[in-house]
Structure formats: C-alpha cells, structure tokens
Amino acid sequence: MPAKGSAEWKGDVPTGAGTFTAGDSISGGYTYKSRFEDGPGSNPEQLIAAAHAACFSMALSSLLAKAGSPPDSVHTDATVTLRPVDGVPTITKIALLTVGEVPGLDEAAFVEHAKTAKAGCPVSRALAGVPEITLEASLKTV
C-alpha cells in the first residue's frame, strides 16, 4: 500500500510558510524559523524523526516476538541533526534511543535485537545516506 504525503510552500523562504499532510490524520505548518532557527512550528526533520522512531519500534517489536520474547512495549526517540555541509543544509546524524519492556529477556539480547532492527527497518535503509546513525538501547528498569 503506498504511503502518501503532501506539502505546499507559499512565498519566499525567509518570510513564507508551508503546510504539510501525511496520511489522513497528520498535518502541520512550517517556516524558515521552525526549520533553521528553533522557532515555533514543525519541520521536515521532525517528520523524519517520527517516521524513523515508529518504523524502528515496530521492527524491533517484530524481531523480539519472532524470537519468542514479545515485548510489552518498545519506546524510541529519534533526534535528527541538520547542519550546513559545504554551505548546504544536510542531515548529518540521527540518534535513536530505545527502551524496551520485555519480560524474561536480558539486556545483551535486547541490544542485539535492536542492532538487527536498526539495520533492517525500511526507514533505516531509506536513510542509509545519513553519515551517522547511532543507537542506544536498554531495557526499562522497574
């Protein structure tokens, strides 16, 4: 099933504004300030971060279940870093931080499954051109 999104930008870059939709229920607005100056609003890098976190959490949950350790939950935060490279805005790093609640599984096994999920999730593979994608994985302590 194809996934769809759309965006429209109006005006010049410094003073204009854009809107986007993703699927049926995600929408927002973005500006130069929200993207490059930490102003209010959204930006494309936040959408990439959310997509990567969602895909990775689902991929890791699937791997854990197939290995006989279905998780109670897998929570992932993704941080996308946008920096100028040779004067061009470039995504230079994505940091994944995931915490799992997986009864009966030790942390070493969880970390290994997380590494496999990072290598195999479709969004990770699509973002393979990003110079650095890091992963920090741990089990939730109770």
Q: In sequence order, what DSSP letters do the residues of 9-34 get, joined into one string?
A: EES-TTT-EEEEEETTTEEEEEEHHH
Task: Work out whether the CA dihedral 91, 49, 44, 126 comes out positive or negative.
Answer: positive
pLDDT of residue 20: 95
The second-level CATH assignment, the architecture, of 44-139 is: 2-Layer Sandwich (3.30)
pLDDT of residue 142: 63
pLDDT of residue 54: 97
pLDDT of residue 109: 97
pLDDT of residue 87: 95
Phi and psi (nearest 5°) for 126? -65, -30
Which residues, in sequence order, are CB contacts of 88 under 8 Å at separation 6+?
Answer: none
Task: Give 139's strand partners.
Answer: 100
Nearest to 98 by CA among 78, 81, 75, 116: 75
pLDDT of residue 38: 86
Per-residue pLDDT of the chain (142 residues; tens, 9 = 90+): 789 999 999 999 999 999 999 988 999 999 999 999 989 999 999 999 999 999 999 999 999 999 999 999 999 999 999 999 999 999 999 999 999 999 999 999 999 999 999 999 999 999 999 999 999 999 997 6
**Domain positions in the chain:** 5-36, 44-139
Separation between Cα atoms, residue 90 and residue 70, nearest integer Å = 37
> What's the predicted TM-score (pTM) here?
0.93
Q: In sequence order, what DSSP letters do the residues of 98-116 get, joined into one string?
A: EEEE-TT--HHHHHHHHHH
Nearest to 100 by CA among 134, 122, 77, 120: 77
pLDDT of residue 128: 94
